[in-house]
Amino acid sequence: MGQTAGVTVLLWLSVVSLVGWLWLACCHGLFWRTDQRLPPRRPPVRWPEVAIVVPARDEAEVLPVSLPGLLAQKYPGRARVILVDDHSGDGTGALAQRLATTEGLPLSVAVPPALPPGWTGKLWALRHGVALAGPVEYLLLTDADIAHGPDSLAELVAAAESNRLDLVSQMARLRVATGWERLIVPAFVYFFAQLYPFRWSNRPGARTAAAAGGCSLVRREALERAGGVAAIRGAVIDDVSLARAVKSTGGRIWLGLADQVDSVRPYPRLAQLWRMVSRSAYAQLRHSPPLLLGTVLGLGLVYLVPPASALAGLFAGRPAVALAGGAAWALMAGTFLPMLRYYRQPARAALLLPFTAFLYLLMTVDSAVQHWRGRGAAWKGRTY
């Protein structure tokens, strides 16, 4: 009797999960598609002036790979790079000066005042860089580990000008060189798109708003209208906060995947990837225990029930359970295939998505535990 009841419960959970996947695949902004790239664009009649602001704290390892490409931008208008050395201890500022060339964009290196209470280090550095930029028309906010192709800036500005956008953001293609990176990174972008469907974010009037902090071109006027960097001074997830601020004040925003913008920061070990996710996961849930519980239950139902039901149904000789679970698992894997293709990974990796989701579940719980222990979001020697 008990075994029959257990099978019935598992069958119902499988059916609910399958219905959930049908809704996610068809009605959730087509989040799984990877066709959101820079919109159609044409060269503007006049190329506006741009300041590229790069906050950098202890980035000597990646600057030799990322900064030369930024300085070598083929931009027809006036542009310059401002690297804000956020009190690094590894010679980041001096290295940046050595990497500058007379043929590339002009580079200035600045050090902000001491970090005041209520600010995150990155945003304090960005504020300082924006202030130094002066009255330019656009600001490209980009991280120190982001490598740009030679036409990246020109393409971003052309997209903004052609489509009258106030914020154009591209999610850089992250590194997938090691086994753990190949397992975790494509799913990271997939989960982000599921949380913030790009199509919904790009739709004027829709409540969803998101950006990718590694590469965001913003009109200075729109940034000032939104309250400047000070409006999001304490945000751990600063890119999404910036997009919300710009969109809520009437700005038009766009977010998509990049073709010539890449992150060069290595995450070779699981521990490093774990910290990358866990430092902000609970902040994403607004530090809410009910939202944490709902997230854990939701991840379990959507990602873990399908393979558990498919395998249990097969071994127990329950075809209905196996069919429902297998169908949900197949649909899940199918929605993951476009992201795997974008990252040039084999299709068979889609079957591992439930395992990766389980790791993300553990990372999210760990993020909450660290917050409750008073450690918060830790990055480069600082805890928020």
DSSP class per residue in 244-257 = HHHHHTT--EEEEE
pLDDT(227) > 60: yes
**Would residue 104 be called left, alpha or beta, if left means φ above 0 and alpha means ψ between -120 and 50 degrees?**
beta
Per-residue pLDDT band at 382 (split at 50, 70, 90): low
pLDDT on residue 6: 62
Name the percent of the chain lying above pLDDT 70. Answer: 96
Q: What is the mean pLDDT of residues 299-311?
A: 96
Contact indicator for 192, 240 with CB cutoff of 8 Å: no
Question: Over 140-196, what HEC string results?
Answer: EEECCCEEECCCHHHHHHHHHHHHCCCEEEEEEECCCCCHHHHHHHHHHHHHHHHHC
Q: Specify the 3-state DSSP secondary structure of 109.
A: strand
Q: What is the mean pLDDT of residues 37-65?
A: 96
Cα distance between residue 85 and residue 54, in whole Å: 9
Residues 6 or more apart from 384 whose CB is under 8 A from it? 120, 234, 236, 376, 377, 378
Is 212 in the same domain as 264?
yes
The angle, 0 to 180 degrees and rounded to 10, between the axes of the packed helices 353-372 and 179-195 is 80
Residues 6 or more apart from 35 whose CB is under 8 A from it? none
Is 199 in the same domain as 312?
no
Inside any domain, residue 38: no
Is 6 in the same domain as 130?
no
Inside any domain, residue 376: no
Q: Specify the 3-state DSSP secondary structure of 101.
A: coil
Report the number of distinct structural domains present in the chain.
2
Per-residue pLDDT band at 103 (split at 50, 70, 90): confident
Inside any domain, residue 375: no
Is 306 in the same domain as 361?
yes
Inside any domain, residue 378: no
pLDDT digits (tens, 9 = 90+) for 167-197: 999 999 999 999 999 999 999 999 999 999 9
Inside any domain, residue 379: no
Domain boundary among 242, 268, 294: 268
pLDDT on residue 1: 46
Domain boundary among 202, 233, 268: 268
Q: What is the mean pLDDT of residues 140-155?
A: 97
Instruction: Tell me the CATH number at 220.
Output: 3.90.550.10
Cα distance between residue 128 and residue 126, in whole Å: 5
pLDDT digits (tens, 9 = 90+) for 243-255: 999 999 999 999 9
pLDDT on residue 36: 97
Inside any domain, residue 383: no
Comparison of pLDDT for 329 and 318, the residue scoring more: 329
Tokens of 89: 């201890």
Cα distance between residue 376 and residue 365, in whole Å: 13
Average pLDDT value for the chain: 94
Is 7 in the same domain as 76?
no
**Would residue 250 be called left, alpha or beta, if left means φ above 0 and alpha means ψ between -120 and 50 degrees?**
left
Please state which of the ranges 225-239, 244-258, 335-349, 366-380 shows the lowest mean pLDDT: 366-380
Inside any domain, residue 243: yes
pLDDT digits (tens, 9 = 90+) for 6-45: 678 889 999 999 999 999 999 999 999 999 999 999 999 9
Going by their DSSP bridges, the two strands 138-142 and 50-56 should be labelled as parallel
pTM for the full model?
0.94
Is 208 in the same domain as 298?
no
Q: Which domain holds residue 319?
A: 2-30+272-370
Is 61 in the same domain as 200?
yes
Amino acid (1-letter code) at residue 343: Y
Is 16 in the same domain as 69?
no
Contact indicator for 169, 207 with CB cutoff of 8 Å: no
Is 123 in the same domain as 205?
yes
Cα distance between residue 108 and residue 357, in whole Å: 43
Tell me the CB-side half-sphere exposure of residue 280, using CA atoms within 13 A. 16
Q: What is the mean pLDDT of residues 206-229?
A: 96
pLDDT on residue 377: 67
pLDDT(378) > 90: no
Helix residue ranges, H only, the chain: 2-27, 63-71, 92-99, 121-133, 152-163, 179-195, 198-202, 220-225, 238-248, 270-284, 289-299, 305-316, 319-342, 353-372
Contact indicator for 161, 245 with CB cutoff of 8 Å: no
Is 84 in the same domain as 121?
yes
Is 246 in the same domain as 184?
yes
Cα distance between residue 296 and residue 311, in whole Å: 22
Inside any domain, residue 26: yes
Q: What is the mean pLDDT of residues 362-366?
A: 96
Give the residue among 208, 336, 254, 256 at the shortest CA–CA distance from 36.
Answer: 256
Domain boundary among 243, 268, 293: 268
Is 19 in the same domain as 93?
no
Per-residue pLDDT band at 228 (split at 50, 70, 90): very high
